[in-house]
Chains A and B, each alone.
Chain A
Amino acid sequence: MTAVVPATDQLAAVVRRVSGVCAVYPAGPIVATAVNAALGAVTQRAHTMPTVLIEQRADGVRITAKIGIGATERSGDVCSRVHDAIAAHLLQSGNPPVAQIAVIVASIG
């Protein structure tokens, strides 16, 4: 049976619902994000980047979420909650083999 990996939008919604998360940023590589922004400026169109990055690799799926947290939160607590929420969602949606769930706190407050 082939495991189904949830769409990036679904995972972004899961991350946004986690208590203490106040922003979800595009988690792609910086160069890709910058190129995308430049393209948007040149073409006058909004180029959207996936917020939660999903990569299928030989050893399993790799998920990366880049978040902003509230000033009153503790980074470690919010990161753990986001990790656990993603893990639970993956389990519910087909239980694909997971190589890594990365959560990056990129801004606070």
Chain B
Amino acid sequence: MTELTPADQRFVAFDLDDTEREQAGLNGHTLEQLSDYLDRGRVPAEKSIDDSPDCEIALRGLERLRRVQASLLELDLKRESLRDDNWIASILDNISLEARAGREIPLAHPSPTARLVITEGAVRGILREAGDRLENILVGRCVLVGDVSVPANPITIVVDATIFSGENIPMLAERLRQAMHSALGRYTELVVAAIDITVSDLYVAPKASVPDEQNR
């Protein structure tokens, strides 16, 4: 049975400082190396990165996160405020963890010699992407709970999300649920019993810095 992290605790599947584990999941690379690769515009091409679907999923997650960070930075510059980036660090950790191929999820085919599957990592990637496509919400962690390898076995999707202040949380959560359900229907044959969404972070833009009265 899969044990779930209580809602009030950060999800840590293993020691996030364990570089060897991170490298094993990303074809011998670390998330930092992938980030550098993006900085270089993926030039010169690195075959060991380009040939790895796990790296590709992580790179796409990094790109989306960077776009959000850039827009936040712009906002902060306008407000002359400083950000707390702890929540971004936790999303980065989950991008690395969830890019791993994981379990195999079967797809039906009439031939007895056919074995068609989609990896859990690919599914988590599209779930994260479905969420990140919505404005003012970022998917933190995403877990498929249940035996995904058995066709028609009902499973549950457990999602942690960060929502930006000022949004209607139940409405945004429902839009996220619908986007994920639609993506699962397109790419998998999973029977989804529930998509449980926990808004674990509320991003509030810091207040503008207070001018020093004495210097006036």
Spell out A's residues near B (CB within 8 Å): 23, 25-26, 30, 33-34, 36-38, 40-41, 46, 48-49, 66, 68, 74-76, 79-80, 83, 87, 98-109
Q: Is the CB of B113 within 8 A of A105?
A: no
The winner among B47, B51, B52, B129 for most chain A CB atoms within 10 A is B51
B107 adjacent to chain A (CB < 8 Å): yes
Which of B23, B113, B129, B187 contacts A75 (CB under 8 A)?
A: B187
Q: Is the CB of A105 within 8 A of B111?
A: no
Q: In the docked arrangement, what's the CA distance between A94 and B119, Å?
A: 32
Beyond A105-B117, A105-B119, 6 extra complex contacts between A and B, CB < 8 Å: A23-B53, A75-B188, A99-B113, A104-B118, A106-B54, A108-B122
Spell out B's residues near A (CB within 8 Å): 23-24, 27-28, 47-48, 51-54, 56-57, 60, 101, 104, 107-109, 111, 113-119, 121-122, 125-126, 129, 186-189
Q: Is the CB of B118 within 8 A of A83?
A: no
Nearest chain-A residue to B100 (Cβ)?
A30
Q: Is the CB of A83 within 8 A of B114?
A: yes
Q: Residues of B contacting A30 with CB < 8 Å?
A: 24, 101
A-B contacts, CB under 8 A, total? 99
Q: Is the CB of B116 within 8 A of A83?
A: yes
Q: Is the CB of A107 within 8 A of B122?
A: yes
Would you call the interface of chain B mostly helix, strand, loop, or mixed?
mixed
Q: Is the CB of B109 within 8 A of A108?
A: no
The winner among A100, A103, A107 for most chain B CB atoms within 10 A is A107
Q: Is the CB of B53 within 8 A of A76?
A: no
Tell me whether A46 and B47 are in contact in the complex, defined as CB-CB below 8 angstroms, given that A33-B27, A80-B109, A108-B122 are known contacts.
Answer: yes
Nearest CB of chain A from residue B103's CB, rounded to whole Å:
12
Q: Is the CB of A83 within 8 A of B111?
A: yes
